[in-house]
Amino acid sequence: MNVIDKISKTDNTFDLERLKKAINFIGGEEVICVQHLKLMLSLHPDELSILVYILHEYVVNEGVSLRKVEKNFGHEIAEVIANINIVFNLQVSKNAQPEVLRKMFLTLAKDFRVVTILLVNKLAELEHGIKNKRDDLKKMCQAAMDIYIPIATRLGIYEIKTRMEDVCFEVLYPEDCARIKSELEQYNKVSNEYIGKATQALQKLLEKSGIDAEISGRMKHPYSVYKKMQRKQKDNVSDVFDIFALRIVLSDSFDAIGEEDISQCYGVLGLIHGAWKPLARRFKDYIAVPKVNGYRSLHTTVLGLTPDVRDEPTEVQIRTRIMHQEAEFGIASHWWYKESGSEDMVSEVDVNSKDKRVRGQIEWLKGLAELHQEMDGGGMSGSECNFELFSDQIFVLTPNGDVKDLPRGATPIDFAYMVHTEVGNSCVQSKVNGSIVPLDSELKNGDVVNIVTKKGAVPNRYWLSFVKTHGAKYRIRNWFRQQDRENNLRVGRDLLNKELTKLNKPMLDPSLTFLANYEGREITFKEREFILECIGNGHFSTKQVLKKTLPEDELLTTKNIRPVKVVRFKETDNDALKGAKIIISGEKDIPVEFAACCSPSFGMPIVGYVGRGQSIRVHDAACDELLQLEQERFVEVEWADTDGYYVTLEIKTDDTPGVTASMWERLKAFNLSVKELSTLAKVSDGLVKKLYLKVKDLDELQDVMTRLENIDGVIEIRKVS
């Protein structure tokens, strides 16, 4: 069958003479890769898309001018090819410059045909590249992993995603790929017999109930097995149960009002569970709650399907033909654009169609583009523009059942801003699965989230410390940016003074001298005010400013520490403390020994006592024996450690029960090697507590302080040493 016959079989309404003209224009159908043309046709494209697909590679490789294309095939064809060229020639990666990503997403959102043709072309480029051993193949595969595979996955085009992954796995992880393929060889020997008997067993079960279905089986792809092994922390393929998957595709049926009948899927599920024992935790209902890319299917894993061949759990997928088409080709199975030459191929009528799954994908593409446009000139740095496209995704539900996808670790505030900017700005409370939760709670897959708003409510700057999506972060900052400048200056000064006080540093003077040396250069008073304004409007965080003003060592240590001498223990000292160091105030190499009465542990607060022989005896700071010793003989000592900083925080709280427990609960989120929390004194309006801990840098210290000061009952927190 020639190319024209293949195309006409897909859609007999196409203008075949125009298509023949395009094939002749590029030099005949022998230059067309039939394999990739077949993939393109399986996406059910319109005539314009097929014409562009046929012409694009030739136009690029032969340097044919777009003017010549326009003359022969019209303006619209030339314009779509130009848009594909924009994206195809961009040097994109996960960490690409923001303007590169902006250009890419704006182009993709303008015309969805560009997305599908681009993905097919990129797949062809990869498969030809590995066949011809191109020098830049690794770079191409990394770009595919960073950009194109996530796009194909998010749009649900699994056929392209899987084939791209196969090439990239072999090129980027050759040793792992070879090992997985080698381990899968043992399953190849039984696969035909196993799949044949399993298919027959299912077919027999369904025929008894008069159910017509197509049943097929396959062994999972090496890369999908590899990812499953990583997720489950398995070392061998034999540790992964469901190497094989069986698929039941039911005929489409519709109810009286024309809606797709999904009840038959659940009926088949019941038959299977009645015949074989299901594994309860392996059942997934992606029909009731589809994946964020629109994927719908029932997944169940059963035991004993073919005990005489392979007595292992087997995954069975149940879906209709429509669902299967969507599962293979995602949004591309719903071609909604018109034959007319409108500039924006996704019209408002289409976006507001009844098909929410299609609408969701369109809105996702548009959302990326709109966010880039908002950020243009809005102060977002390149490092902040690594979009959620590249993050592990979760899906959560609105109370109405609409699915929203968010990066892993997202919070109710991220969700609120995804619903609408005003919902985020006026958010006062969040409910997850019917229960009130803190606004900085981490959402989980499948959560139902309800946002409570209040008229007159405004964003909180604290939100910037925990939101994950850049859309939420930008919109919070933008709200503060629009406030009055004088107010921003005042707020910025207050915030920076508060942070300086917490870090035991002098507050700002009228000349803002603290900010005089910024990023290693002297700046003017006007520039110093601008920094305060940026803190006040949320564009800069106090953390960013502090790190650009003072070295981290100076921010985390006091200035009045005298010269020190590092004294190492000899090999004959306490075995448990070999290799530990002590820093002692002064410059003499003084002998050091540990007090037997308290046996101080490495990392805990210590004090030194000068003995009669001028040696230093080191005690635990809480040692009872210290009360019996002469106070004038105490010297400052501390553990030497270049990997982090020991700091002491003074925390003022009210006297309500549970505050200490809440503090410990918040501290669990940090991997802190030293934590000692004690009450120093009781004051008229509460308690003063001391927290001693080790942090790796200023970022971690400020994260700890921010989390603690937002606990109900915590009045004030500051660093004292």
Higher-pLDDT residue of 289 and 56 is: 56
CA distance 435 to 284: 24
Name the 3-class secondary structure at 681.
Answer: strand
Mean pLDDT of 138-156: 83
The pLDDT, as a whole number, for residue 417 is 92
The pLDDT, as a whole number, for residue 353 is 34
Q: Which residues of 170-198 are buried (b: 16+ CB within 10 A; e: fewer)?
A: bbebeebbeebbebbeebeeebeebbebb
The pLDDT, as a whole number, for residue 569 is 40
| The two three-digit tokens of residue 531, written as one number | 């920094």
* pLDDT at residue 581 greater than cutoff 60: no
Mean pLDDT of 446-471: 88
State pLDDT tens for residues 547-568: 888 776 666 654 333 333 444 4
* pLDDT at residue 338 greater than cutoff 50: no
Question: H helices of 232-278, where?
Answer: 263-275
Burial class (CB in 10 A: 0-12, 13-18, 19+), 367: middle
CA distance 442 to 448: 13
**Which range, of 9-23, 117-131, 149-163, 227-241, averages the lowest pLDDT?**
227-241
Q: Are the C-beta atoms of 680 and 529 separated by less than 8 Å?
A: no
CA distance 397 to 295: 15
The pLDDT, as a whole number, for residue 413 is 94
The pLDDT, as a whole number, for residue 341 is 36
Nearest in space to 651 (alpha carbons), one of 677, 675, 685, 621: 677
The pLDDT, as a whole number, for residue 568 is 42
The pLDDT, as a whole number, for residue 673 is 65
CA distance 599 to 483: 57
Q: Which residue segments constitute the domains of the chain, with CATH numbers given? A: 3-172 (1.10.3210.10), 178-332 (3.30.460.10), 391-480 (3.10.20.30), 483-550 (no CATH), 564-639 (no CATH), 645-719 (3.30.70.260)
* pLDDT at residue 529 greater than cutoff 70: yes
| The two three-digit tokens of residue 156, written as one number | 């649900």
The pLDDT, as a whole number, for residue 596 is 78
Q: Are the C-beta atoms of 168 and 141 separated by less than 8 Å?
A: yes
Mean pLDDT of 192-200: 85
Higher-pLDDT residue of 502 and 52 is: 52
First to last CA, the chain: 81
Q: Write down the mean pLDDT value for the chain.
A: 78
The pLDDT, as a whole number, for residue 382 is 39
Place of tokens 């927190």: 717
CA distance 345 to 340: 9
Question: H helices of 209-262, where?
Answer: 222-231
The single-letter DSSP state of residue 102 is H
| The two three-digit tokens of residue 352, written as one number | 């507001």
| The two three-digit tokens of residue 549, written as one number | 């003003």
Of 17-21, 82-86, 506-510, 628-632, the range with the highest mean pLDDT is 17-21
The pLDDT, as a whole number, for residue 414 is 93
CA distance 405 to 424: 16
CA distance 646 to 696: 9
CA distance 30 to 205: 47
Q: Are the C-beta atoms of 171 and 141 separated by less than 8 Å?
A: yes
**Which range, of 96-110, 202-216, 319-333, 422-436, averages the lowest pLDDT?**
96-110
Mean pLDDT of 589-600: 74
Place of tokens 């800069």: 540
CA distance 619 to 610: 11
Q: Are the C-beta atoms of 449 and 403 separated by less than 8 Å?
A: no
| The two three-digit tokens of residue 12, written as one number | 């007999």
Q: Are the C-beta atoms of 633 and 619 separated by less than 8 Å?
A: no
Nearest in space to 326 (alpha carbons), one of 358, 362, 365, 289: 358
Q: Which residues is 605 bridged to in the sheet?
A: none
**Backbone angle region of 289, left / alpha / beta, with phi > 0 → left and psi within -120 to 50 → alpha:** beta
Place of tokens 């010297």: 635
Q: How many residues does the chain have?
A: 721
**Which range, of 94-108, 288-302, 604-618, 650-664, averages the lowest pLDDT?**
94-108
The single-letter DSSP state of residue 146 is I
Q: How confident is the model at residue 306 (pLDDT cuts 50, 70, 90)?
A: confident
The pLDDT, as a whole number, for residue 241 is 67
Query: 413 — phi, psi (to 5°)?
Result: -65, -40
Q: Are the C-beta atoms of 332 and 279 separated by less than 8 Å?
A: no
- Number of Cβ within 10 Å of residue 277's Cβ equals 12
CA distance 611 to 701: 36
* pLDDT at residue 602 greater than cutoff 90: no
State pLDDT tens for residues 79-111: 888 888 877 777 666 665 556 666 676 677 667
Q: How confident is the model at residue 674 (pLDDT cuts 50, 70, 90)?
A: low
CA distances from 686 to 102, 238, 659 (A): 52, 60, 11
| The two three-digit tokens of residue 615, written as one number | 């040696």
The pLDDT, as a whole number, for residue 203 is 92
**Which range, of 383-387, 583-587, 668-672, averages the lowest pLDDT?**
383-387
The pLDDT, as a whole number, for residue 266 is 93
Q: Which residues is 319 bridged to in the sheet?
A: 249
* pLDDT at residue 452 greater than cutoff 90: yes
Q: Are the C-beta atoms of 219 and 181 separated by less than 8 Å?
A: no
The pLDDT, as a whole number, for residue 345 is 40
The single-letter DSSP state of residue 390 is G
The pLDDT, as a whole number, for residue 380 is 45
Place of tokens 């660093």: 719
The pLDDT, as a whole number, for residue 453 is 93
Mean pLDDT of 397-422: 85
Mean pLDDT of 42-66: 85
Helix H or strand E encompassing 497: helix 485-502
The pLDDT, as a whole number, for residue 257 is 63
Nearest in space to 538 (alpha carbons), one of 457, 453, 463: 463
* pLDDT at residue 388 greater than cutoff 60: no
Nearest in space to 206 (alpha carbons), one of 268, 277, 264: 268
Name the 3-class secondary structure at 568.
Answer: strand
- Number of Cβ within 10 Å of residue 69's Cβ equals 24
Q: How confident is the model at residue 383 (pLDDT cuts 50, 70, 90)?
A: very low
**Which range, of 133-142, 479-488, 617-626, averages the lowest pLDDT?**
479-488
CA distance 79 to 52: 10
* pLDDT at residue 196 greater than cutoff 80: yes
Q: Are the C-beta atoms of 218 and 244 separated by less than 8 Å?
A: yes
Q: How confident is the model at residue 352 (pLDDT cuts 50, 70, 90)?
A: very low
Place of tokens 């059963």: 302
- Number of Cβ within 10 Å of residue 457's Cβ equals 13
CA distance 621 to 143: 56
CA distances from 268 to 217, 244, 263, 298, 525 (A): 17, 19, 9, 10, 74
* pLDDT at residue 27 greater than cutoff 90: no
CA distance 136 to 258: 51
Residues of the chain with pLDDT > 90: what percent?
A: 12
The single-letter DSSP state of residue 687 is E
Query: 313 — phi, psi (to 5°)?
Result: -60, 145
Mean pLDDT of 346-362: 46
